């Protein structure tokens, strides 16, 4: 049986994405804000905003993966995460500019 939700936002709240140095733009704050938004929009029963402990893309965090489809987004802050939410829900323009870039990750890992 398929997972009974329309969409799943998996937001990393792992140590590096949630680094205190990011202030209000760290993973846990991003998750809390989107979770509250999702609830306010009455989507709690159809759309889930969940925390994950690590997506193994730590160098380019904060990160998020959206299901179905599995698109990953990197270098997020609260504003860009909201833009991803809107885009993925069909309520904003697509944001390919915020998608995870494997070359960016490879470069970050070489540093």
Under rule CB under 6 A, residue 12 binds ligand FES: yes
The nearest distance, CB 12 to ligand FES, in angstroms, is 3
Under rule CB under 6 A, residue 19 binds ligand FES: no
Under rule CB under 6 A, residue 54 binds ligand FES: yes
Under rule CB under 6 A, residue 76 binds ligand FES: no
Tell me if 57 sits within 8 A of 72, measured CB to CB.
Answer: yes
Specify which residues 99 forms β-bridges with: 73
Under rule CB under 6 A, residue 17 binds ligand FES: yes
Identified binder of ligand FES from the candidate list 11, 30, 49, 63, rule CB under 6 A: 63
Cα torsion angle, 104, 106, 108, 111, sign: negative
Under rule CB under 6 A, residue 108 binds ligand FES: no
Tell me how far CA of residue 24 lies from CA of 28, 34, 79, 87, 109, in angstroms.
Answer: 9, 13, 11, 22, 25
Identified binder of ligand FES from the candidate list 49, 57, 66, 83, rule CB under 6 A: 57
Contacts for 102 with CB less than 8 Å, ≥ 6 apart: none
């Amino acid at each position: 049986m398929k997972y009974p939700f329309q969409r799943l936002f998996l937001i990393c709240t792992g140590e590096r994405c949630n680094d205190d140095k990011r202030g209000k733009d760290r993973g846990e704050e991003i998750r809390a804000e989107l979770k509250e938004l999702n609830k306010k929009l009455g989507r709690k029963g159809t759309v889930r905003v969940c925390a994950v402990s690590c997506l193994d893309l730590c160098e380019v965090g904060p990160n998020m993966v959206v299901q179905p489809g599995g698109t990953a987004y990197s270098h997020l802050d609260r504003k860009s995460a909201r833009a991803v939410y809107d885009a993925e829900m069909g309520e904003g323009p697509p944001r390919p500019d915020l998608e995870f870039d494997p070359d960016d990750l490879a470069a970050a890992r070489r540093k």
